[in-house]
Amino acid sequence: MTSFSSFPMREELTRAVTDLGFETPTPIQQKVIPLLLENPVDIIGLAQTGTGKTAAFGLPLLQHSDPDQKHVQCLVLSPTRELCMQIQEELKKYGAHMRGLKIAAVYGGVPITGQIREVKANPQIIVATPGRLIDLLERKALNMDNVQYVVLDEADEMLNMGFRDDIDFILKSTPKRQHTWLFSATMSNEVRGIAKRFMKEWQEISVAPANQANQNIDHQYYVTNNHNRFDTLQRLLDFTPGIYGIIFVRTRQDCQDIAEKLMKQGYHVSPLHGDMDQKMRSKVMDRFKSKQLQAIIATDVAARGIDVNDITHVINYELPDDQEVYTHRSGRTARAGKSGICMSIVTPKEIGIIRQIERIAKAKFHKSDIPDGAEVVRKRLFFYLDEIANAEPAADFAKLYQHNIHERFEAMDKDELIRRLIWLQLKDTIDNYSKAKDLNAGYEKKGERGERAPRGVDSSGRAVMRLFINLGTKDGMTDEGLVDFITESTDIEPGMLSGVTVRELASFFNVGSDAAEFIMTALSSKKFKGRKVRVDEAEQKTGGGGFNRERGGDRGGERGGYRGGRDGDRRGGGERGGYRGSRDGGGERGGERRGSEGGRSSFSRDSGSHFNKKGRK
Ligand code: AMP
């Protein structure tokens, strides 16, 4: 197997890589580094963050930089401020032993004056976002006449963000450019367009087939009804006490609301969305990186800048519309060879979307049951036991209080003492979960919330479920028309339907409970006169007798803002199943899965108090 020492690199670089504890080059590094070291060529590298691509271009870039020459020799363009800072940090680590080397990072969102000073101090390498770089060029703060190497990192993302003209301008402003290395998660005509305009010959290097999700991720989905989404999220959080995760939501409003609800209950979380200014977002990221936060709730746009390696879980509070966005979200976990879990909360009618993602992203999903109260308590018990077993009390502490502790509990039986300790730790959870309802779709019982009774029996005693469909007389629907539409769309027999009620904006019908999920999924991919059909369980108003849900006409089971309020998605971010050299415990699934939690000492140190609720409802 190739090792870093086999690459013809400066000794300073090999030493830095050893200092960092890198043992084996990742696949993209194995392919790219040798190619770019000796007789560099132009390349298009298809790889995403997490695959080790920064070192793949960074080490050759540093190899070709001359610290004795005090002018800009290399330029790295990246789409976001966060990525810019990360690349600068990584490059500084790799170049730590190169005396005289300066690496500047310039990006928007902060005053330009400090950056003008930095670029005037003659760095050899500049990492920049396109907009700020052009600003500096226009102010004549920076001279790129001697730039020989240009790296375009996350080129697809820069194009998605509308930087095409800026990239062209910048590349045209580098008259002595000899090599262009373009990295992109996806290959598109636009990406190729840059290559055609600015590169003479290039090699394409990819580490995994396009759009394939990372193989180290366990994709799980949990089926619940729409109004139970939040409770399901909470249950999943309680069930994963060691979580260090990102919870993805679709709108800024959801982001804020969900974060606030969780914070109120004592969870260590924070929102991250576009309405927060840069300073606030940086503060959140700092707290997250230092693990003061166990999770952040983020919109896709805000999450762009997050580059954290040891994310254990990604949770989709709602699925995104776009498979590529799913791949990108889930790719936030299982990075740099680790394994991770991506949990998606879906309603029965969204199962069809799971199947689509499975097909396109070639990711296998596992349906997992939403854990019940006993499972949550059990999981937390074992987590706490591990924490006690692995705790390393400070020596001073042991010395200082040893006597008092011993005296106080001398007479108490060890088992009794442990029981009490554990009881103290778990009693809130036990209280909270003593009457926990079953959140799995299809298991809600009448009376638990006093508002829903989706199940009943028909005249022959058969268990039925009443369903809502967003088609009514306004759409030209009639009783017969509805039966025809449903039977033709799903291939079920007309006799399986009963209690058909067509209203102005929506209709209702009963089906056998065993067929309900199938019918909801089948109908939800259909259109009627060009309108997308929505089917959901019918809701019964509190205390009311009939199935009288007609609210909003065509919004089906969706909450307001579900589609309208999207704040943009990152597209084109397919995570390549790149580096997966050293799995650290994948393979397990569902209930007792603790692969990535066990090793996380940062939460262990805090004695598992992250989920001690301050005052739950
Ligand atoms: P990147 O894809 O460049 O964002 O890198 C992801 C992470 O993997 C960074 O934190 C790197 O420091 C780390 N990394 C890069 N190459 C290796 C390697 N060969 N072995 C172990 N870790 C690596």
In this prediction, residue 460 has a pLDDT band, given cuts at 50, 70 and 90, of low
If you write DSSP's letter for every residue of 531-585 in order, what string do you get?
A: EEP-EEEPP--TT-SS----TTSS-TTPPTTTTTTB-----S-PPP----S--SS
Nearest CA to ligand 1 atom 1: 52
Q: Is 16 in the pocket of ligand 1 (CB under 6 A)?
A: no
pLDDT digits over 266-306, tens only?
999 999 988 888 888 889 999 999 999 999 999 988 887 67
In this prediction, residue 214 has a pLDDT band, given cuts at 50, 70 and 90, of low
Q: Is 30 in the pocket of ligand 1 (CB under 6 A)?
A: no
Nearest CA to ligand 1 atom 14: 52
pLDDT digits over 85-139, tens only?
999 999 999 999 999 999 999 999 889 999 999 999 999 999 999 999 999 999 9
Q: Is 96 in the pocket of ligand 1 (CB under 6 A)?
A: no
pLDDT computed for residue 34 by the predictor: 93
Amino acid at 252: R
pLDDT digits over 260-277, tens only?
999 998 999 999 988 888
pLDDT computed for residue 268 by the predictor: 94
At residue 140, the 3 state secondary structure works out as: coil
Q: What share of the chain is helix, strand, coil (3-state, %, to 5)?
A: 40, 15, 45
Instruction: Yes or no: say if 139 and 110 are a contact pair by the CB < 8 Å rule.
Output: no
Per-residue pLDDT averaged across 537-552, rounded?
Answer: 39
User: Distance between CA atoms of 314 and 559, rounded to whole angstroms?
Assistant: 22
At residue 205, the 3 state secondary structure works out as: strand
The pair phi, psi for residue 457, each rounded to 5°, is: -125, 150
User: Distance between CA atoms of 328 and 159, rounded to whole angstroms?
Assistant: 16
- For the chain, give the mean pLDDT: 80
Strand 149-152 relative to strand 245-248: parallel, antiparallel, unpaired?
unpaired
Q: Is 130 in the pocket of ligand 1 (CB under 6 A)?
A: no
Indicate if the pLDDT at residue 585 is higher than 50: no
Cα 576 to averaged position of ligand 1 atoms, centre (Å): 14
Phi-psi region at 499: left, alpha or beta (left = phi > 0; alpha = psi -120 to 50): left
User: Distance between CA atoms of 250 and 566, rounded to whole angstroms?
Assistant: 6
Q: Is 53 in the pocket of ligand 1 (CB under 6 A)?
A: yes
Cα 218 to averaged position of ligand 1 atoms, centre (Å): 21
Cα 55 to averaged position of ligand 1 atoms, centre (Å): 7
Q: Is 52 in the pocket of ligand 1 (CB under 6 A)?
A: yes
Q: Is 25 in the pocket of ligand 1 (CB under 6 A)?
A: yes
User: Distance between CA atoms of 167 and 130, rounded to whole angstroms?
Assistant: 7
CA 546 to chain centre: 41
Sheet containing 245-248: which strands, arranged edge to edge? 269-272, 295-298, 245-248, 313-316, 340-346, 217-223, 365-367
**Percent of the residues in the chain that have a pLDDT greater than 90, as a whole number:** 41
The pair of three-digit structure tokens given for residue 265, joined into one six-digit string: 């209950």
pLDDT digits over 562-573, tens only?
222 223 332 233
Indicate if the pLDDT at residue 169 is higher than 70: yes
Indicate if the pLDDT at residue 189 is higher than 50: yes
Q: Is 26 in the pocket of ligand 1 (CB under 6 A)?
A: yes
The model carries a pTM of: 0.48
Cα 225 to averaged position of ligand 1 atoms, centre (Å): 40
Cα 50 to averaged position of ligand 1 atoms, centre (Å): 6
> Which residue of 26, 32, 87, 214 sits with most ligand 1 atoms within 8 Å of its CB, as the best mutation to test the pocket?
26
The pair phi, psi for residue 223, each rounded to 5°, is: -100, 120
Per-residue pLDDT averaged across 153-164, rounded?
Answer: 89
> Which residue of 579, 580, 583 sits with most ligand 1 atoms within 8 Å of its CB, as the best mutation to test the pocket?
579
The pair of three-digit structure tokens given for residue 190, joined into one six-digit string: 């636009």
Cα 579 to averaged position of ligand 1 atoms, centre (Å): 9
User: Distance between CA atoms of 271 and 222, rounded to whole angstroms?
Assistant: 23
According to the 3-state scheme, what is the secondary structure of 436-491?
A: CCCCCCCCCCCCCCCCCCCEEECCCCCEEEEEEECCCHHHCCCHHHHHHHHHHHHC
Nearest CA to ligand 1 atom 21: 22
Q: Is 331 in the pocket of ligand 1 (CB under 6 A)?
A: no
Q: Which atom of ligand 1 is nearest to the CA of 86?
A: 4
pLDDT computed for residue 104 by the predictor: 97
Per-residue pLDDT averaged across 487-503, rounded?
Answer: 86
Nearest CA to ligand 1 atom 11: 52
Cα 33 to averaged position of ligand 1 atoms, centre (Å): 14
pLDDT computed for residue 10 by the predictor: 95
Q: Is 368 in the pocket of ligand 1 (CB under 6 A)?
A: no
Q: Which atom of ligand 1 is nearest to the CA of 48?
A: 2
Instruction: Yes or no: say if 27 and 51 are a contact pair by the CB < 8 Å rule.
Output: yes
Cα 28 to averaged position of ligand 1 atoms, centre (Å): 11
Instruction: Yes or no: say if 65 and 123 are a contact pair by the CB < 8 Å rule.
Output: no
User: Distance between CA atoms of 93 and 20, rounded to whole angstroms?
Assistant: 8
Q: Which atom of ligand 1 is nearest to the CA of 49?
A: 2
User: Distance between CA atoms of 248 and 343, rounded to whole angstroms?
Assistant: 10
Catalogue all structural domains in the chain, each as residue range(s) with its CATH number.
Answer: 4-206 (3.40.50.300), 217-372 (3.40.50.300), 374-433 (no CATH), 451-577 (3.30.70.330)
At residue 508, the 3 state secondary structure works out as: strand
pLDDT digits over 225-241, tens only?
999 999 999 999 999 99
In this prediction, residue 337 has a pLDDT band, given cuts at 50, 70 and 90, of low
> Which residue of 91, 309, 338 sits with most ligand 1 atoms within 8 Å of its CB, as the best mutation to test the pocket?
309
In this prediction, residue 596 has a pLDDT band, given cuts at 50, 70 and 90, of very low
Instruction: Yes or no: say if 233 and 258 are a contact pair by the CB < 8 Å rule.
Output: yes
pLDDT digits over 36-46, tens only?
998 778 999 98
Q: Beta-strand (E) ranges in 153-209?
A: 179-184, 203-206
The residues near 420 (Cβ < 8 Å, ≥ 6 apart) are: none
pLDDT computed for residue 148 by the predictor: 96
The residues near 170 (Cβ < 8 Å, ≥ 6 apart) are: 75, 77, 130, 133, 134, 137, 144, 150
